[in-house]
Amino acid sequence: PRDIEDIKFAQEQVRNFAKAQRASMQDIEVETLPGVILGHKNIPVQSVGCYVPAGKFPMVASAHMSVLTASVAGVPRIVASTPPFQGKPNPAVIAAMHMGGADEIYVLGGMQGIGAMALGTETIEPVHMLVGPGNAFVAEAKRMLFGKVGIDLFAGPTEIAVIADDKADEELVAVDLVGQAEHGYNSPAWLYTTSKRVADYVIKRVPELIAELPELPRENAGAAWRDYGEVILCDTDEEMATISDEYAPEHLEVQTQNLEWFHKRLKNYGSLFIGEETTVAYGDKCSGTNHILPTKGAGRYTGGLFVGKFIKTLSFQRMTKESTKTVGAACARISRYEGMEAHARTGDARLRKYGFQN
């Protein structure tokens, strides 16, 4: 019962934020010239496949982030797939999928699950879009299928970066870096700081915190910190912000005195965590923002999964006969500039029909 209550709590936060985001996406219709009416409608993708990892860790929260968000977007058919965990379906993952609004649930892992949802089988109808995180095989399967189906984004190993000045609590900085490094052996953890005190403390303290973890998280975090950990000592706030925007980390924490300045200045990241009172784990699990985010620098050109990723913004137009006098003539001339005579004649035909001369 307590597990169910925790799932309900997390899903309520994700649902409330997703609803607010959906409400911000408005259909529009405007008259840009007399008789020229243009607009767009926001229409949900008609079927989505949501992959929820469960190999090393049963990622219960990933069900909220994908299945529930698709449900808020209004997707009519939501298919969910997850691998078995230690030989059988993980109860909490299945419960979260069901409570999030999945119409079909399959215990299929890796590229088998991705392939079944995208290509279809004798018993599974193919979907129009795939979303959700996964291992390298899942990511490659999604990459290969992109085009036949839509995908949310290309996701690599999870990342964390922390921006910290001399006012930061160095213990919290170290704890938060380890908190993400436990995801896997190749999960980068980066610190950008203007404080040599914080830098020295983190370099000493992180291995100690890792050593205190249970076996699997300890192995993951130890390898990740050894091979991908970085501590970058900077001279100024501007230098920290510049380096952060170059890395475009998936998760970015700011633990500084000048929080508002960084919030305005930073441009490239997956999700931002402002102040020591919040942490990446809150967003990962239950605070309401989505944890399916861009990695490997993709934050330079895209954001993460949100309700809008399940929405197609589709344009439309209608016009009066009178508007053809202007638009039809211009269209015919522009088409002929380009050598596209058949295009031009579609304008000519309407000009003649409606009594206008070209």
The residues that are catalytic are 250-251
Give bridge partners of residue 77 from the DSSP assignment.
Answer: 47
Distance CA 344, CA 191 (A): 59
3-state secondary structure of 356: coil
- Cβ–Cβ under 8 Å, residues 152 and 305: yes
Sheet holding 28-33, edge to edge: 28-33, 36-44, 311-319
Q: Where are the beta strands (DSSP E) in the chain?
A: 28-33, 36-44, 47-51, 77-81, 104-106, 129-131, 150-151, 160-164, 189-193, 230-233, 251-255, 271-274, 311-319
* H/E element, 348: helix 341-353
3-state secondary structure of 305: coil
The residues, any chain, with a CB within 8 Å of residue 205's CB and separated by 6 or more, are: 170, 171, 174
The residues, any chain, with a CB within 8 Å of residue 324's CB and separated by 6 or more, are: 347, 350, 351, 354, 356
- What phi and psi values does residue 3 have, to the nearest 5 degrees? -60, -45
